[in-house]
A and B are shown apart, each in its own frame.
Chain A
Amino acid sequence: MPPRASKRKSAPPNSSSVTSSDGRSEGIEALCSDLGVDYTDVRILMLAWKLKAEKQGYFTQDEWQTGLKALGVDSLSKLKKALSDLEKEVEKPSNYEDFYTYAFRYCLTEEKQKSVDIESICELLNLVLGVQFRPQIDSLIEYLKVQNDYKVINSDQWINFLRFCKEISFPDLENYDATQAWPLILDNYVEWMREKHS
């Protein structure tokens, strides 16, 4: 799930030595180690969002160059700084939902793929929402792993996870109303939670 294969990248970042390659190379991992950031770090995902990367694990030449220009970055140290600014930028309410939706799309690796498997969703939830909504996410992930109704999650369910965390009081879930338009999987989750705590 974290960005895997990548383009070859060499310092300085805007050099045209970035070429597109199909095979696995250590490009992004090398980038990560250069930046001092683990490649499972959410900031790499944020970078992908900022660069508007189409495919998971790949930065095309265009994306790379255009993106870095937008960041105003032309050196590794500047990229490091840009990353921390990026976090603040993503957290802005106007951007956050966009980033959140992007994160899901980023996992759709196959052509015409509409849903993501539960395992990956759990990891993604942890990565993207874990810090801000720790208790909700831990509980939700626990449920997703034990339930059998769904093997994959679609984008509508994904977007509603965020809504759930933002709108529903936790852990009492007092204001959750199953007759409203919440997806069935969340109805089931709430039922499970209520049973557990009764």
Chain B
Amino acid sequence: MGCENIEFDQGWGEMEKGIEKLKRILAGEKETPFTSREYMTLYTTIYNMCNQKAPHDYSEQLYDKYKETLDEYITSIVLPSLKDKHDEFMLRELVERWLNHKIMVKWLTRFFHYLDRYFIIQKSVPALNEVGTTCFLNLVYEDVHPTIQDIVLSLIDKEREGDQIDRALLKNALEIFVEMGLGQMNRYQDDFEARFLQETTNYYSRKASKWIEEDSCPDYLLKSEECLKKEVDRVSSYLHSSSETKLIKKVQHELLVLYVNQLLEKEDSGIKVLFRDDKVDDLSRTYRVYNKISQGLDLVANVFKQHVTIEGTAFVQQAEEATSNQASNTPGGHEQVLVKNILELHDNYMTYLNSCFQNHNLFQKALKEAFEVFCNKTVNGSPSAEILASFADHILRKGGSEKLSDEVIEETLEKVVKLLQYVIDKDVFAEFYRKKLARRLLFDRGTNDDHERSILSKLKQQFGAPLTSKMEGMVTDVVLAKEHQSSFQEYLRNNPDVHPGLDFTVTVLTTGFWPSYKWFDLSLPSEMVKWVKVFKGFYETKTKHRKLTWIFSLGTSHINGKFEPKPIELIVSTHQAAVLLLFNASERLSYSEIVAQLNLAHDDLIRLLHSLSCAKYKILNKEPSSKSISQSDSFKFNPNFTDKMRRIKVPLPPVDERKKVIEDVDKDRPYAIDAAIVRIMKSREVITHQQLISETIEQLSRMFKPNIKAIKKRIEDLITRDYMERDRDNSHMFRYLA
């Protein structure tokens, strides 16, 4: 060696020996592998040639020669081998050639390595490796990639149709695309993936339109699940991992998103049928499959909501038609059935919510919205709030006609409270409930205190104290009244001279708690007048400063009717008793005489007389004996009246309270709105109009839904009354005035 410069040709000659040997190895010819010495010689040759002083510094020429070598190899050997090949064979050949090329580059890079260390950096030219790839890229890849793409895509299509293909081959082929990107994914994406995704879309679009017609909903879902599994498998087998998200999204879109409504609304197998036939697995699959799609669950929840709405509304319709078709034998009987049906519906779908839909809040919301639609319908003039209150009343009246067990009653009441959350006019419910509670407490012997208190506490828990505080007061009043009764008895014992001679009990009601009752200026029979005096005396020993107002319309009397066939005990209202007792003094009374003696209004008296002379039990005989009361009628005691029982209850049908309840509630609402606004203003001090409106609605949502006009009106009123003012500079802001 020594300091003699190597001439270029001489040095290159050495290199060529090595290169030829490499080519022979790659061609599979019998050759010994490179020894260390051979390698060192080749490396050192390059080294020396690059370290000679100019003009014998051959770095640049060597760099060019390197490239030339590769180009020449490709042109003379690689390209011809690819020329006449097709399909899979072409693919195989390409993969093999690329592998070979990489080996060649590897070895050449080793030999020429010295260039990589200094030359490429000095001259800012690509590294040897990169040059290697670029040669292949320019001479081979650019030429063949469209063909390769075609071949790959057709193989994928074959596989989708069920044929076996050489997955390893595809994997290697696609890796070439990736490697051609020189660190970027653009060749893979542009030269393969874009069209792949397009063809995937087309493929599944075709399949979907076929399957949607032929398959049942569960089958279609199964197929879709399978397809998705296969595509994921495809990615892990031979596609690049970056394709997965895009691929799955496309498949989901074609199979599941586009057809969701058609699929789930299938007449014979859609969601409606799945629910009907309790196909829990299929419903769970639906959830599972759509859960993987972004916003997929929204689609399913929507169909779910519509389905539930239709079912609920059908029940409502049923009740409407049933009541208008037949004359109601049980008043409200159809409404009872309606509530039962709705409760069952709720139970059913809550179960599905848990078992199939993972209690997902989208489905909870869908269920809620569906119920809100049909739980606020009026059936035959009866608002849903009233229907629900009647249903509860029915259950609480001694367990209802079916004599339910305590447990069942508790459960049912709990469900009623749950159902109430869907009713918008909760304050209407409360008022109807209160009225019915009053009747139960006062007239229904044997009301179960525990159940009454239990439902009230459930209502309080869900909807807050304002809804139930008065009612709790009512229940307490009745309990206290029983206690008072025993001290009243004691009082009578201690004051025997004031004892009126007949048994009577008094229930003292706290005015604010109970519904307001019409007060009648009834002229009492003398016996009763005594009672009032006696009790007043007793009550004054207990408390001063309280005024007693007597509501006789709520009272019950037991009267012995001395009829000729046999005496019968009559259980009547105190008002009815007052009418009957008149006939102790006179045998015959005209309507006007009765009016004069009792001092009642015509409407009320007509109701009373009707119940005693024209209804089921004719205690009084009416002249003329027409079906209705007129002011010219006369009445006589009916001595021949009889019944097989020894004691009968003569019913007095209650006045229809519906109009009054709704009126009362409407009257109270402005005050509730006022209170809410003032509360909000007080805590916020300054607030925008929009926020005030939305917070007011939010605060009142437990009782009812105020409309914006009503709120605006109250705001106006509160401004006039100096509770608040509009901000001078910001006309949409309000300020609290302490």
Residues of A at under 8 Å CB distance from B? Answer: 114-115, 154, 156-157, 159-160, 163, 178-181, 183-185, 187
Contacts and interface: CB of A to CB of B under 8 A. Distances in A.
The list of the 3 closest CB pairs from A to B, nearest first, reads A181-B689, A181-B732, A184-B712
Contact of A114 (B713, B720, B725, B733): B720
Contacts of A181: 688-689, 726, 731-734
B732 A187 contact: no
A189 B21 CA distance: 100
Contacts of A180: 689-690, 732
Interface string B700-738: 000000001100110010011010011000011110000
A157 B720 CA distance: 10
Contact of A179 (B708, B720, B726): B708
B716 A184 contact: yes
B719 A156 contact: yes
A158 to B, nearest CB: 11
Most interface-central of A115, A154, A156, A178 (chain B CB within 10 A): A156
Contacts of B731: 160, 163, 181
Contacts of B733: 181
Contacts of B712: 183-184, 187
Contacts of B689: 180-181
8 contacts: A156-B716, A163-B731, A178-B708, A180-B689, A180-B732, A181-B688, A181-B726, A181-B731
A183 B716 contact: yes
Contacts of B688: 181
Nearest to B725: A156
Given A183-B716, A184-B713, 7 more contacts: A154-B720, A156-B725, A160-B731, A181-B689, A183-B712, A184-B712, A187-B709
B465 to A, nearest CB: 31
B43 to A, nearest CB: 83
Nearest to B692: A181
Nearest to A186: B712
Interface in B668-716: 688-690, 693, 708-709, 712-713, 716
Nearest to B714: A184
A180 B734 CA distance: 12
Nearest to B709: A184
A154 B726 CA distance: 12
A187 B726 CA distance: 17
B77 to A, nearest CB: 79
A154 B709 contact: no
Most interface-central of B688, B719, B722, B734 (chain A CB within 10 A): B719
Contacts of A184: 709, 712-713, 716
Nearest to B727: A181
> Interface residues of B toward A: which range?
10 to 19
Nearest to B688: A181
Contacts of B734: 181
A180 B689 CA distance: 7
A45 to B, nearest CB: 22
B716 A157 contact: yes
A154 B725 CA distance: 12
Contacts of B709: 184, 187
Contacts of A156: 716, 719-720, 725-726
A123 to B, nearest CB: 21
A160 B732 CA distance: 11
A187 B733 CA distance: 17
Contacts of A179: 690, 693, 708
A178 B707 CA distance: 13
A129 B509 CA distance: 59
B716 to A, nearest CB: 6
A185 B690 CA distance: 18
Contacts of A154: 716, 719-720
A157 B733 CA distance: 15
Most interface-central of B713, B716, B722 (chain A CB within 10 A): B716
A178 B726 CA distance: 17
Contacts of B719: 154, 156
A132 to B, nearest CB: 19
A183 B713 CA distance: 8
A156 B726 CA distance: 7
A185 B713 CA distance: 9
A178 B689 CA distance: 11
Nearest to B689: A181
Given A179-B708, A181-B689, A181-B726, A115 B732 contact: no
B416 to A, nearest CB: 36
Contacts of A115: 720
B670 to A, nearest CB: 13
Nearest to A160: B731
A156 B712 CA distance: 12
Contacts of B708: 178-179
Nearest to B711: A184
Contacts of B725: 156
B390 to A, nearest CB: 36
Contacts of A185: 716
Contacts of A187: 709, 712
A178 B709 CA distance: 9
Contacts of B690: 179-180
Contacts of A114: 720, 722
A156 B723 CA distance: 13
Interface in B247-291: none
A72 B688 CA distance: 45
A175 to B, nearest CB: 14
Contacts of A178: 708
Most interface-central of B688, B689, B726, B733 (chain A CB within 10 A): B726
Contacts of B732: 180-181
Contacts of A183: 712, 716
B74 to A, nearest CB: 73
Interface in B109-127: none
A180 B688 CA distance: 10
Most interface-central of A160, A178, A183, A185 (chain B CB within 10 A): A183
Nearest to A150: B716
A89 to B, nearest CB: 21
Nearest to A184: B712
A157 B712 CA distance: 12
A115 B721 CA distance: 11
Interface string B423-441: 0000000000000000000
